[in-house]
A = this chain, B = another copy of it.
């Protein structure tokens, strides 16, 4: 019944996504000139994704093989193994890893597929009707949002059904499909990292040679890197974030189901399936939210999007109430349902708080961005110093929100009448936070679509009035992109806490009496130190990778300008494709090192400390402290980047001399510095946080 409900809702959401896609596609796709540009973007994006997936496949298969071999030959048996034969367990682990990887890849592909077709239609509609432009962009984004969340439900629910059909006891299934989460995060990491490097290498490269050296405006068609820059929005923001949030919801589903197993005496199977059901309610709520968004020519598109978000939140809250009342009642714990409902509301409130905090720190209405703009008057150095300080400062309130959310939901769970349900309470809060995921992802994908639409309008030299319209959409898109990052990091923080306990459960399954992760032990302290260091090192490598890839772009653009002077004169067409090829190769080459480091390090620490007899606990230290450091560093990088970006935009509205002033030149430096922070290292760290959890979960048996 619960499973059926989930499957029906997921299929409904998929069908609805299909309808939305049809609706988007039937819109006008503009002038031939616009189509030429859009086609170039599409080709570039598809070519990148194709080559990226080949690279990822080359990395995934060996890992799958290693997992199979480890589970088949080196895994210590437990007294309550769900399957008797090691090779059966091994095939399940490796199989669900590959399945998760494929699903994650599809999620990314769909995000990109829709956005490269929606951008031109948004541009075309915006020429006459702002509301239509807004709706096309949002509904295009919703295709990917609904698809990603529905697929994560179908994946987990489908695996569940499949394994039940094979006669495996339902409460043992979650432990079998942890590989699914690892597969999803493994692919999400490389998708986000490769896409993030691509988008910022192209952006930084295009800006440095175009704006700074040649003095031509942004998105000018004479710049050979301009198409690569637009491609980057699709492969970095759409494909990357799609894979990221797919992974979040999948990992969180599994983690919550594992916790639900512990409540079997109270709720039976219903507790295990509860996460799927409330997620299904969230899908329905998101559909309603997307459909109510409309604006007028003079209206504020951001307000329209916010209205949709509020409606989604309210409906999800109601859905949570229904889900809790339906599934989490038990004669032994009659009060439990409303306690868990409150946990869900805590999560929804935390999501909203994250959205507001991010707005405060990255919008130019407020003090932080204004202070960066003021500091730009005394040059680039003070702009950078102030922006970085804002980035560090803005970790404070989110941490308080996380603290309050975890503690409140933990205590609600503890007092629900269900013994030992504290962690399940935090799990329900996490579900609440991720309840609106489909809508938030739609808002997020809106960003690059609007950005691309603006680029297409600019490159096809449309009138100033049209540009103003797409600029308004683009500005809103920048905000929604920033909000999603705040949301993603908040949900990663909550979800990680959930996955910690899954890790500890898994370790205990093997009979290891791991009662505590005692960070006062030197080995655990060092594990923690290594985890935090890993996060810093990863960020360094990701940022360096952008610099290296951008260098290829800079050289190529310079070469084209130098060898064919007609380009700058406007008499000759630059070779966009060559630039796209170069960024593609560069980004894929550069994503390997940071990815391998982040996957290899937890394994190395685990094996070293295994030798010292304390592997599982030291790895737990690495996982938890690494997560803390990741949350803080990602928040710092995301928000400082967003704040620099908007400080520049604020000056462009005319403050401190406006465009071209000394302050503006300084602010452009800050904006460029922030690019790899906010679009490469920061978002990749979201995935890293979850990857640390899923990789340690899958490899836990080998650290004992």
Question: A353 CB to closest chain B CB, in angstroms?
Answer: 15
Q: A386-B544, A632-B536 are in contact. Are A379 and B519 (CB under 8 A)?
A: no
Copies in the complex: 2
Pair B528/A628 contact, Cβ less than 8 Å: yes
Residue A537 CB within 8 A of the other chain: yes
- Give the shortest distance, in Å, between A121 (CB) and chain B (any CB): 34
Which of A66-74, A104-112, A157-165, A389-397 sits within the interface? A389-397
**Given contact pairs A382-B208, A543-B389, A403 touches B530 in the complex (Cβ within 8 A):** yes
Contact A520 B385 (CB under 8 A): no
Check if A406 sits within 8 Å of B522, measured CB to CB: yes
Cβ < 8 Å to B, chain A residues 31-74: none
Residue with the greatest number of chain B CB neighbours at <10 A, chosen from A385, A395, A540, A621: A385
Q: Which of A342-395 contact B (CB under 8 A)?
A: 375, 378-382, 384-386, 388-393, 395
B389–A544 CB distance below 8 A: yes
Closest CB-CB distance, A541 to chain B, in whole Å? Answer: 7
Query: B620 touching A520 by the CB < 8 A rule?
Result: yes
Given A392-B539, A520-B624, A537-B393, the answer on whether A525 and B406 have CB atoms closer than 8 Å is: yes
Contact across chains for B632 and A532 when beta carbons are under 8 A apart: yes
Stretch at the interface among A279-287, A301-309, A669-677: A669-677
**Of A243-251, A475-483, A496-504, A577-585, the one with at least 4 CB within 8 A of chain B:** A496-504
Contacts of A142 in B (CB 8 A): none
Known: A393-B540, A504-B520, A540-B392. A526 touches B407 (CB 8 A): yes
Interface centre among A204, A379, A628, A631 (most CB of B within 10 A): A628
Contact with B along A536-552 (1 / 0, CB 8 A): 11011101101100100
- On chain B, the residues within 8 Å of A263 by CB distance are none
A599 within 8 A of B: no
- The A contact surface, by secondary structure, is helix
Asked if B384 and A384 sit within 8 Å, CB to CB, the answer is: yes
Inter-chain CA distance A500–B528, complex, in Å, is 15
Among residues of B, the one whose C-beta sits closest to the C-beta of A636 is B536
What B residues does A212 contact at CB under 8 A?
379
Given the complex of chains A and B, what is the CA–CA distance between A612 and B407 in angstroms? 10
A386 to B547, CA, bound (A): 7
**Beta-carbon contact of A522 and B392 below 8 Å:** no
B541 touches A393 (CB 8 A): yes
Q: Does A410 contact B (CB under 8 A)?
A: yes
Q: Is A554 an interface residue (CB 8 A)?
A: yes
A517 beta carbon closer than 8 Å to chain B: yes
**Nearest Cβ in chain B — how far from A367, in angstroms?**
12
A25 at interface, CB cutoff 8 A = no
Bound-complex Cα distance A541 to B393 (A): 7
What per-residue 1/0 map shows which CB atoms of A547-566 lie under 8 Å from chain B?
10010001000000000000
Q: Select which of B385, B543, B668 is within 8 A of A385 by beta carbon.
A: B543
Q: Judge whether B407 and A543 touch: CB under 8 Å.
A: no
Q: How far is the CA of A546 from the CA of B385 in the complex (A)?
A: 9
Known A-B contacts A517-B519, A519-B519, A522-B497; A395 and B536 likewise in contact (beta carbons under 8 Å) = yes
A385 near B522: Cβ-Cβ < 8 Å: no
| A300 on the B face (CB < 8 A) | no
A399 on interface, CB distance cutoff 8 Å: yes
Identify the interface centre among A426, A518, A676: most chain B CB within 10 Å of its CB: A518
Structural contact, B621 and A519, CB atoms closer than 8 A:
yes
A602 close to B (CB within 8 Å): no
Q: B631, A536: Cβ atoms under 8 Å?
A: no
Q: Which of A380, A522, A624 counts the most chain B CB atoms within 10 A?
A: A522
Q: Roughly how many angstroms separate A380 CA and B644 CA in the complex, as a whole number? A: 14
**Chain B residues whose C-beta falls within 8 Å of the C-beta of A537 in the assembled complex:** 392-393, 395-396
Tell me, in angstroms, the Cα distance from A380 to B382 when the chains sit together: 12
Complex Cα–Cα for A540 and B111 (A): 37
A504 to B518, CA, bound (A): 12
Residues of B within 8 A of A93 (CB): none
| Across-interface contacts of A632 in B (CB, < 8 A) | 532-533, 536, 629
In the bound complex, CA of A152 to CA of B367 (Å): 45
- Bound CA span A676–B382, Å: 11
Q: Which of A208, A391, A392, A500 has the most CB of B within 10 A?
A: A392
Minimum distance in angstroms from A582 CB to a CB of chain B: 17
Query: A516 interface residue, CB < 8 Å from B?
Result: yes
Instruction: Digitize A241-264: 1 where CB-to-B-CB distance is under 8 Å, 0 elsewhere.
Output: 000000000000000000000000
Which of B388, B522, B625 has a CB less than 8 Å from the CB of A543? B388
Kindly state whether residue A679 has any CB partner on chain B within 8 Å. no
The answer to whether B525 touches A208, judged by C-beta atoms less than 8 angstroms apart, is: no
Residues of B within 8 A of A237 (CB): none
In the complex, the answer to whether A520 meets B529 with C-beta atoms within 8 Å is no
- Say yes or no for A422: interface residue by CB 8 A criterion: yes
Note all chain B residues with C-beta closer than 8 A to A543: 385, 388-389, 392
In the bound complex, what is the Cα–Cα distance between A537 and B389 (angstroms)? 9
Tell me, yes or no, whether A9 is within 8 Å of chain B by CB. no
> Beta-carbon contacts of A202-231 to B below 8 Å, as 1s and 0s?
001000100010000000000000000000
Q: Which residue of B lies closest to A620 (CB)?
A: B520
- For A612, the chain B residues whose CB sits under 8 A away are 407
Q: A410-B522, A426-B522, A625-B625 are in contact. List 12 more A-B contacts (CB 8 A).
A: A388-B673, A389-B543, A392-B543, A396-B536, A402-B526, A403-B529, A407-B522, A422-B522, A423-B522, A518-B519, A532-B628, A532-B632
Sampled A-B contacts (6; CB under 8 Å): A379-B669, A385-B546, A392-B543, A396-B537, A410-B522, A528-B628
The 10 closest A-B pairs by CB, nearest first: A392-B540, A516-B518, A381-B672, A393-B540, A516-B516, A399-B533, A389-B543, A403-B526, A517-B520, A395-B536
